[in-house]
């Protein structure tokens, strides 16, 4: 059976897993020292085109 009305997008709500995180969150003390090496290692995979790589580089996944 087909319908002439467009499909309504479904919303999914995800819980905040860190809302009641029992441990203190701290940044790795070596983060600044190893970030350039880590970034170079990830770029070495050449998994992204240049535009996507630039966008990826703007993210700071090490601070998540």
The DSSP code sequence of 29-52 is TTHHHHHHHHHHHHHTT--S-HHH
Under 8 Å between Cβ of 26 and 62: no
pLDDT digits 0-9 by tens, 19-62? 998 999 888 899 999 999 999 999 999 999 999 999 999 998 87
Under 8 Å between Cβ of 13 and 45: no
Q: pLDDT-based confidence at 18, cuts 50/70/90?
A: confident
């Amino acid at each position: 059976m087909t319908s002439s009305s467009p499909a309504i997008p479904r919303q999914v709500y995800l819980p905040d897993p860190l809302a009641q995180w029992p441990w203190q969150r701290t940044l790795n003390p070596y983060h600044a020292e190893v970030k350039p090496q880590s970034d170079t290692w990830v770029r070495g995979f050449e998994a992204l085109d240049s535009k996507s790589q630039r966008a990826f580089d703007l993210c700071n996944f090490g601070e998540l």
